[in-house]
Amino acid sequence: MQRDAPRNARIRASQAEPDRAAPVTLVPMKECWIRALAAHRREIRRRWEAFLRLERSDSPMADPDNLVHLIDWTLDRVFAQLRKRRTQNGALARPMIAALRTGCQCGHNPYLNHFLAGEQALIEGLVLAQAHEPSLDPAHRDIAVAELYLAMHAIARSEVESVCSLCQRYPHPRTQTPLPAAAAAA
């Protein structure tokens, strides 16, 4: 059996194959779903914190007691991003916060767990809100979920990359000094 590239679940996340999904084009999420999420903000925050506390923390920055203070700030940004996306749509790659782990060389970025927990809490909140609407068109349901993923991913990518650029464990690719030509040839 011949395969294009070896896949091994035990390799480091930074060595995993990148997501090569085709870009998708979406229409905006309906304002009613943004309002429904905002109306359930307290419950979403509570679930986000619960999901965050399920993860083990491997550094003081990743301690859930520190990260819970970012939840309200992140929710504000998500709701603002959802409203902003209503006017600027385009072809974007399918978002996956878990795929951001591949860009983290050390695997200790505290924002990874923060945004994964938030993604789960927000999707859960949206699905529960949509469950109360039996006549909901499946296309509108899917659009709302996709838009939520896009908004979370855009915010998460920016924040995760910012922390990774400051990493002391592994040099960041953009901060490495190039080898002199003689050393590179050897």
Q: Is the pLDDT of residue 153 over 90?
A: no
- Name the pLDDT band for 179 (thresholds 50, 70, 90): very low
Q: Is residue 173 part of a domain?
A: no
Q: Which residue has the higher pLDDT, 175 or 166?
A: 166
Amino acid 1: pLDDT: 44
* Structural contact between residues 71 and 118, judged by C-beta atoms closer than 8 angstroms: yes
Q: Is the pLDDT of residue 73 over 90?
A: yes
Residue 147: which domain range?
A: 20-166
Q: What is the largest CA-CA distance in the chain?
A: 68
CATH of the domain at 160: 1.10.490
Rounded to whole angstroms, the Cα distance separating 80 from 87 reads 12
**Six-digit token string for 69:** 């203070």
Domain count, the chain: 1
The answer on pLDDT for 155 being more than 60 is: yes
pTM of the model: 0.70
Q: Taking Cα atoms as reference points, which of 51, 26, 50, 40 lies closest to residue 78? A: 40
Residue 25 and residue 164: Cα distance in Å, rounded? Answer: 29
Q: From the CB of residue 137, how many other CB atoms can be counted at a distance below 10 Å? A: 9
74-109 pLDDT tens trace: 999 999 998 886 534 444 455 666 667 666 777 778
Q: Is residue 171 part of a domain?
A: no
